[in-house]
Amino acid sequence: MAIKPYNNHLPLNNQKVNISYLSPDQLDRLTDAFLDYYEENERYRKVRGRLWIVYLFLRYTGARLNEILRVNESTDIDFRNNEVKIVTLKQRKQSFRIVPIHTKTISELMLYLSQYPDMKGKIFALTGRAFQLAFKTVCQRAKIPLELAHPHILRHTRAIELLRSGVPVTIVQDLLGHSSLNTTAIYLRMSSQEAKMILKDKGLI
C-alpha cells in the first residue's frame, strides 16, 4: 500500500511541528528520475554522478545534507563493511556516528570512482546550493509536489521507513543522530486518516 504523504502537525514543547515525507511510490519515482538524470547525457555524467552518489547517501542514511557533504570517501567510508562515518551536526559537542549503508550505494560509488579515478576524495565536495537546485529539478521530473522538493524530505522519509519496518526507535535515533529521543518519537505519531488506511489495508476495520 502506498500511503499518500501528508503534513502532520504534532505538539512539541507547545509548538506545531510540520512533518512531511514521501510515499514509497514517490520515493521510487524520485530514485528512478535521479538515475535517468545521471545517465541521460554522457557529457554531464561526471558532474551528475556526484549528485547521484550524494542522493543515494541521503536516501539510505537519513543524514542531513550538510553532514553528507562533509564525507570524504577516502577516509570516512568502510567499503568492506558498508558503513560511513558521519560527523553529527546540531549537537553542542561534535561527535560522529557510524551508519550502515545499502550495498547499492557502495556499488554505485565504486563504479563512479572506477570511471573517474581523478574524483577520489572530491565526490562529496559540493555546495548545498548546487545539490538543492539539482534535487528540485529531478523532483519536477518525478512529479513530486513543490512543497516536498527539498533534500531534507529524504531524512523524514528514511525515519518513517525505518520505523515502519520495525527498527527500534532508539536505533533510529542513533542512525539519524538525534540528541533527544523525543525528536525521533515524533515520527511514531500518525494522523487518524493514515491510521484508518493502515487498518483497512490489514483488514482490521
Q: Would you say how long the chain is, in residues?
A: 205
Residue with more model confidence, 139 or 160:
139
Q: Is residue 44 annotated as a catalytic residue, yes or no?
A: no
Please state the pTM of the whole predicted model: 0.84
Q: Are 6 and 194 in contact (CB under 8 A)?
A: yes
Q: Is residue 93 annotated as a catalytic residue, yes or no?
A: no
**How do the domains of the chain map onto residue ranges?**
22-92+100-201
Residue of 4, 46, 90, 120 with catalytic role: 90
Longest dimension (CA), the chain: 58
Alpha-carbon gap, residue 68 to 125, rounded angstroms: 9
Residue of 120, 143, 152, 200 with catalytic role: 152
Query: Whole-number mean pLDDT of the chain?
Result: 86
Residue 66 confidence (pLDDT): 96
Q: Is residue 90 annotated as a catalytic residue, yes or no?
A: yes
Please, is 23 exposed, middle or buried when counting C-beta atoms within 10 Å of its C-beta (0-12, 13-18, 19+)? Answer: middle
Residue of 64, 112, 156, 158 with catalytic role: 64
Q: Is residue 64 annotated as a catalytic residue, yes or no?
A: yes
Residue of 48, 50, 155, 158 with catalytic role: 155
Residue-wise pLDDT tens digits, 144-183 = 999 999 999 999 999 999 988 888 889 999 999 988 887 7
Looking at the domain covering 22-92+100-201, what would its CATH class be? mainly alpha
pLDDT at 68 over 80: yes
Please, is 137 exposed, middle or buried when counting C-beta atoms within 10 Å of its C-beta (0-12, 13-18, 19+)? Answer: middle
Q: Is residue 129 annotated as a catalytic residue, yes or no?
A: no
Q: Are 57 and 151 in contact (CB under 8 A)?
A: no
Q: In this structure, what are the phi and psi dihedrals at residue 36, rounded to the nearest 5 degrees? A: -60, -40
